[in-house]
């Protein structure tokens, strides 16, 4: 594809000139910050931005709780103690009990309903109070909400408890991703955001180990103890949020430049030139925010569906939904899926632990792929490979032999590993980078809202596909998700842009110029076109720019 160059639009130029008093100085510092950011290597970024990486990783641990409970509740559907307490007799298997597909859907969807509420609350709360205070409040909420499922006497009360727990999970879903993407340099953004996915997977791994560990415990403690373990996380994470720096991007959007400057002082490395680096970084954030105001003045949810932001919202929604539709939905019901395929409860739990470990292993492998391949390339490749495995798993579902069942288990593990090397972690930098800054929380919220609605759909049909009390498809359910995965692949090929190594400002200009998805990778961007000498005192701006770049180069490795 022939290379193309795009620049800031006329509306963006005018927005900067109208909104900034000393525009020449701002542009010089913003340009210096952008050039320094693009010169960073991975090793240099890790060496000099350890504080930013640390806080990004710590606050992302809030997703451990969501991953933990969402799989815990689904794993209970195959747990004998939980089945005896809340289940009904299975006619085809005398002496055994099961949770009906309708209650499985109801319990799994209860948490998603709570998350939908939490997503909406988070959008307002982060814009009003910032990331730190929002997280601290909902950590307290989480401590109180856990009491409900722990003491629940019936499935109805348990479902209500899942709704109440789901609200803070919905908050953490978008808060952790946006915070991670905003506090680290561009080159580290895919690692910080994919770490969010690994934290979610860590929760799943812990839950799988816990379910296996309580398998031999008699009575209600077998399902109450896993709920109680959720109290381990909120208190230390509350303390971490209290001491964490606020996102400087969030502070600027809330028109608190002093708070943003204070955060940058904590996030950027020490050195004699630190004041200049802080001011240059703050200038770039202010510059990019002013550019986005030209497109998103007022920043309401309706703006997400207007102009170029409609395209950004579409990308966010489909990339999130494809996380489920590519076949990952089967993982949430892995224990029952494997039991329906012919495995014993204990053996299904063992395989489930291997599946959950794929989240961590796959995330680490993906870190090594990120420097060499683009996000879109990794995402599409993952969906394509999963499509082939899903076809094979579905085909093996028509066989009843022991070797076929073993092959299903092995392929299920491999498919999960592929997912967590590719589409799982690659999703997070895509959804964090494609929205405009002023609409980032709202766009990610809409995308995650669609993700949860897709989850409600999958939680309604997957139990019926897999359960012996439902349609009893067993492994053949993989064929259904092979079909939905194929649709996702087709959309990605034509609509998913490549944002690798692009700072937020360049991504904004690419969208503003309506560059086609397939051309993103090959298009050059001139961020500061039209903001040179005609903005005022060029000589003063040049001097400031030269000084800022000189100071940056002293410590840039």
Q: CA angle, 522 as apex, 443 and 519 as ends, to 5°? A: 55
Round to whole Å and give the CA distance between 362 and 421. Answer: 4
Run of H or E residues at 4: strand 4-7
Alpha-carbon span 337 to 360, nearest angstrom? 22
- Write down the domain spans for the chain: 4-10+49-298+307-526
Segments in 40-79 forming alpha helices (H): 42-48, 50-60, 63-75
What's the CA gap between 465 and 105, in Å, rounded? 12
| DSSP string for 103-142 | HHHHHHHHHHHHHHHHHHHHHHHHHHH-HHHHHHHHHHHH
Structure token digits, residue 146? 């856990």
* pLDDT tens sequence across 431-464: 888 998 778 878 988 998 898 889 888 878 887 8
User: What is the number of residues in the chain?
Assistant: 557
For the chain, 557 residues long, give each residue's pLDDT as a single digit of tens. Answer: 555 566 555 555 555 555 555 555 666 776 777 677 777 788 888 888 889 899 999 998 988 887 887 778 877 877 788 888 888 887 777 777 888 878 888 888 888 889 889 988 988 898 889 999 999 999 999 999 999 999 998 999 999 999 999 999 889 888 888 888 888 888 888 888 778 878 888 888 888 788 878 878 888 888 899 889 989 889 999 999 999 999 998 999 888 989 999 999 999 888 777 888 888 888 888 887 877 666 555 567 888 898 889 999 999 999 999 999 998 877 666 666 666 666 776 777 777 777 778 778 888 888 889 888 989 999 999 999 999 999 998 998 888 787 887 788 788 878 888 988 999 888 988 988 899 877 887 898 899 889 888 988 887 888 788 776 678 787 788 899 999 999 999 999 999 999 888 888 888 888 988 899 888 888 888 766 555 544 333 233 333 333 332 333 332 32
Q: Are 492 and 376 in contact (CB under 8 A)?
A: yes
pTM over 0.75: no
Quote the percentage of the chain above a pLDDT of 90: 24
In the 8-state DSSP scheme, what is residue 184? Answer: S
% the chain with pLDDT above 70? 84
Residue whose entry in the numeric block shows the structure tokens 């028509």: 398
Given this model, what pLDDT does residue 542 score? 36
What whole-number distance in Å separates Cα of residue 318 and Cα of residue 315?
A: 5
For residue 524, the SS3 value is strand
pLDDT by residue (tens digit) across 197-228? 788 888 888 887 888 788 788 888 888 998 89
Query: What CATH homologous superfamily does 4-10+49-298+307-526 map to?
Result: MFS general substrate transporter like domains (1.20.1250.20)
pLDDT at 533: 40
- Which pLDDT score, from 0 to 100, does residue 550 have? 32
């Amino acid at each position: 594809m022939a290379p193309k160059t795009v620049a800031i639009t006329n509306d963006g130029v005018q927005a900067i000139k109208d909104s900034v008093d000393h525009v020449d100085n701002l542009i010089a510092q913003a340009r210096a910050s952008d050039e320094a950011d693009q010169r960073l290597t991975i090793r240099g970024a890790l060496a000099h931005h350890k504080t930013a990486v640390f806080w990004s990783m710590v606050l992302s641990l809030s997703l451990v709780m969501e991953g933990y409970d969402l799989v815990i509740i689904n794993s209970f559907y195959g747990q004998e103690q939980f089945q005896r307490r809340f289940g009904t007799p299975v006619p085809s298997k005398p002496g055994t009990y099961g949770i009906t597909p309708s209650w499985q859907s109801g319990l799994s969807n209860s948490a998603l309903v709570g998350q939908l509420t939490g997503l909406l609350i988070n959008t307002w709360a982060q814009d009003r109070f910032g990331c730190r205070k929002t997280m601290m409040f909902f950590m307290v909420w989480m401590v109180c909400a856990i009491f409900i499922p722990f003491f629940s006497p019936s499935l109805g009360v348990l479902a209500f408890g899942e709704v109440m727990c789901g609200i803070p999970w919905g908050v953490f879903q978008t808060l952790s991703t946006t915070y991670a993407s905003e506090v680290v340099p561009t080159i580290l953004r895919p690692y910080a955001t994919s770490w969010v996915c690994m934290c979610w997977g860590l929760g799943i791994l812990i839950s799988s180990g816990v379910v296996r560990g309580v398998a031999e415990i008699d009575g209600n403690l077998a399902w109450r103890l896993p709920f109680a373990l959720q109290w381990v996380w909120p208190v230390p994470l509350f303390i971490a949020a209290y001491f964490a720096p606020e996102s400087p991007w969030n502070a600027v959007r809330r028109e608190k430049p002093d708070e943003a400057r204070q955060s940058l002082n904590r996030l950027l490395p020490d050195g004699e030139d630190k004041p200049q680096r802080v001011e240059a970084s703050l200038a770039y954030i202010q510059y990019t925010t002013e550019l986005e105001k030209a497109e998103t003045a007022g920043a309401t949810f309706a703006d997400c569906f207007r102009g170029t932001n409609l395209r950004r919202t579409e990308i966010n929604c489909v990339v999130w939904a494809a996380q489920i539709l590519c076949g990952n939905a089967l993982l949430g019901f892995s224990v029952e899926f494997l039991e329906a395929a012919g495995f014993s409860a204990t053996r299904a739990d063992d395989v489930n632990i291997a599946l959950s470990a794929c989240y961590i292993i796959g995330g680490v492998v993906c870190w090594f792929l990120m420097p060499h391949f683009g996000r879109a390339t990794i995402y599409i490749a993952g969906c394509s490979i999963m499509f082939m495995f899903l076809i094979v798993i579905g085909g093996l579902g028509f066989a009843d032999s022991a070797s076929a069942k073993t092959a299903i288990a092995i392929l299920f593990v491999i498919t999960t590993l592929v997912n967590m090397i590719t589409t799982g972690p690659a999703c997070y930098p895509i959804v964090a980078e494609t929205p405009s800054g002023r609409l980032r929380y709202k766009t990610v919220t809409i995308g995650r809202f669609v993700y949860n609605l897709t989850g409600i759909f999958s939680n309604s049909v997957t139990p019926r596909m897999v359960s012996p009390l439902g349609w009893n498809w067993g492994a053949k359910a993989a064929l259904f998700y092979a079909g939905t995965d194929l649709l996702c692949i087709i959309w990605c090929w034509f609509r998913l842009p490549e944002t690798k190594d692009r700072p937020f400002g360049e991504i904004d200009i690419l969208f503003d110029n309506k560059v086609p998805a397939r051309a993103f990778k090959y298009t050059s961007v001139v961020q500061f076109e039209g903001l040179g000498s005609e903005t005022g005192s060029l000589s003063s701006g040049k001097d400031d720019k030269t000084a800022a770049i000189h100071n940056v180069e002293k410590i840039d490795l």
